[in-house]
Amino acid sequence: MSQYKMWIGGNWVDAESGKTYPVFNPATEAEIAQVPLGGLAEVDKAVAAARKAYPVWSKKSQVERSQIVLKLAALMRADAKEVGRIDTLEHGTPAGLAGMIAGDLPEWLEWNAYNARALMGNTIPQCPNELIYLQREPVGVVALITPWNLPLLMIVEKLAPALSVGNTIIIKPASINSLTALKLAELADKAGFPSGTVNVITGPGGIIGEALATHPGVDMVAFTGSSETGKRIMALASQTVKRLQLELGGKNPVIVLGDADIDAAVGAMLGKQMFNCGQICAAPGRFYIHEKVYDEFLQKFTAGMKKVVVGDPNDTKTQMGPLVSADHRNRVEGYIKSAIDDGAKVILGGKRPTAPPLDKGYYFMPAIITGVTQKMKVAREEIFGPVAVFMEPFNSDDKVIELANDNIYGLAAYVWTQDKARGMRFANEIQAGTVQIGSTPARDQDVPWGGYKQSGIGKEHSMYGLYEYTNLKRIQVDLTANR
């Protein structure tokens, strides 16, 4: 079993209290590490270190900053195998998927390092004797509070733009799987960032996250997680009017019209539903299937889900590993029970496997629930698991658009039709930050991501994601000759 330290101010440190807490392998329930139990003292130290580093890092030229970020990308690419191994060990990500994610992450750093060099200001030609121009500057000290569902990816997608444009960083990873964050700190040290530019504090979010959100030395909080926690961070951050970037929950509607390519829709949506055990905010949340194709879609979707291989994440045949923790599995099981109590039907899965070797670990068999009505709990709330929720069939475009919008979330929506003009009507009327008509894959770095309503504030990825970590300054110069 490994003993870890936190990374603060360019040094590996224990918690001032001397306390640690265990990290468990979700596939075996075995304890794999002890991590420092950080607290308020560590928050103060990390903020002080980041503030000291800020004038050093922010005043480097954009070329210098980008070169160091690119070096971190190269180190991460060279160590991708180890990064993937840690992800599998602490999160239960199937080894093949973990390797793919680890191999992709350096590109996030590279994209932001290159594009930060392309940030330009603007001049405003208001009058001939006056120069008005706009320039972007880093915000300052940025706290990244990240979730457990894709531990390192969720850090890197924030870290890459924030660092590239000159901010200094305090990372608060999820307490149950912080090891990949500490590996990132090791690589950042090797890359040559000035001491204090990147800091990692491990420990409970309720203490550390709230301290970062209220700390007067933190200029911005970037958070991914539940809407309830996001609201709490907003309330705390309001005390010092911090900049916020919030990527919160989703209950994403899938709308399959009567003329859809059913095989294509089933394949794409099944993949999204099962990716990372459904523990992603972009997962399908509600299936609205036209009555004309409902039976066919459900039959093919069920057949596909039955073929999903649940098992040891180190087995190359495994497509879905365990859920992240016992507590989260209990939460998903609670949604299954609520659906049954409300009168819906579980037609597939929804239980723990009992046969060895899957009787140990936080495994959960993928589930399909049918007969769900709009007011049921499983139709309103984010389940965050391998559970497909099938609403009652529809036969009216107007009605299904109304139902799709009838939710507190507005992150993403998936529309399946071969009539693109009809699809565009859905795209224009659905309240979501992303509406995908058919299977339209895109490189995540190039396109913005972020939702409407209680799905969050601001955007991630693309140039819009870079802008989030900058302040826009207006500079005005009187060009009239001195008198």
Query: Based on the domain organization, do 330 and 386 belong to the same domain?
Result: yes
Residue 64 in any domain: the answer is yes
pTM of the entire predicted model: 0.95
Provide the angle, in degrees to the nearest 10, between the axes of the packed helices 397-405 and 420-429.
30
Q: Tell me how far apart the alpha carbons of residues 348 and 365 are, in angstroms, rounded to a whole number.
A: 9
* Dihedral sign (CA 48, 226, 328, 98): negative
Q: Three-state SS for 258?
A: coil
Expressed in angstroms, the distance from the first to the final Cα of the chain is 75
Query: Based on the domain organization, do 131 and 105 belong to the same domain?
Result: yes
Domain housing 52 = 2-248+458-473
Look up tokens 């870079």; give the residue: 466
Mean pLDDT calculated for residue range 96-105: 95
Residue 449 in any domain: the answer is no
DSSP letters, 38-88, are --HHHHHHHHHHHHHHHHHHHTS-HHHHHHHHHHHHHHHHHTHHHHHHHHH
- From residue 63, alpha-carbon distances to 110, 114, 287 in Å are 13, 9, 47
Positions of E strands within 187-320: 198-200, 220-224, 243-247, 252-256, 284-289
Residue 61 in any domain: the answer is yes
Query: Based on the domain organization, do 227 and 93 belong to the same domain?
Result: yes
Predicted local confidence at residue 127, as pLDDT: 85
Candidates 162, 197, 191; CA nearest to 8 is: 197
Q: pLDDT for 463-477, tens place per residue?
A: 999 999 999 999 999
Q: pLDDT for 63-89, tens place per residue?
A: 999 999 999 999 999 999 999 999 999
Name the band, by pLDDT with cuts 50, 70 and 90, for residue 481. Answer: confident
Mean pLDDT calculated for residue range 365-389: 98
Residue 482 in any domain: the answer is no
Q: Residue 49 is encoded by which pair of tokens?
A: 């270190």
Q: Provide the annotated active-site residues.
A: 247, 281
Query: Based on the domain organization, do 307 and 222 belong to the same domain?
Result: no
Looking at the structure of the chain, the number of domains it has is: 2
* Cis, peptide link before residue 204, omega less than 30° from 0: no
Residue 146 in any domain: the answer is yes
Query: Based on the domain organization, do 184 and 200 belong to the same domain?
Result: yes
Query: Based on the domain organization, do 234 and 289 belong to the same domain?
Result: no
Query: Based on the domain organization, do 291 and 203 belong to the same domain?
Result: no
Query: Based on the domain organization, do 339 and 275 belong to the same domain?
Result: yes
Q: Tell me how far apart the alpha carbons of residues 246 and 175 are, in angstroms, rounded to a whole number.
A: 19
Q: Tell me how far apart the alpha carbons of residues 233 and 244 are, in angstroms, rounded to a whole number.
A: 9
Q: pLDDT for 277-297, tens place per residue?
A: 999 999 999 999 999 999 999
Residue 382 in any domain: the answer is yes
Residue 483 in any domain: the answer is no
Query: Based on the domain organization, do 234 and 270 belong to the same domain?
Result: no
Query: Based on the domain organization, do 56 and 111 belong to the same domain?
Result: yes
The domain that holds 275 is classified in CATH as 3.40.309.10
Name the band, by pLDDT with cuts 50, 70 and 90, for residue 483. Answer: low
Query: Based on the domain organization, do 301 and 401 belong to the same domain?
Result: yes
- From residue 300, alpha-carbon distances to 275, 352, 357, 386, 448 in Å are 18, 23, 29, 17, 32
How many C-beta neighbours within 10 Å does residue 56 have? 14
Residue 479 in any domain: the answer is no
Q: pLDDT for 3-53, tens place per residue?
A: 999 999 999 999 999 999 999 999 999 999 999 999 999 999 999 999 999
Query: Based on the domain organization, do 276 and 189 belong to the same domain?
Result: no
The domain that holds 469 is classified in CATH as 3.40.605.10
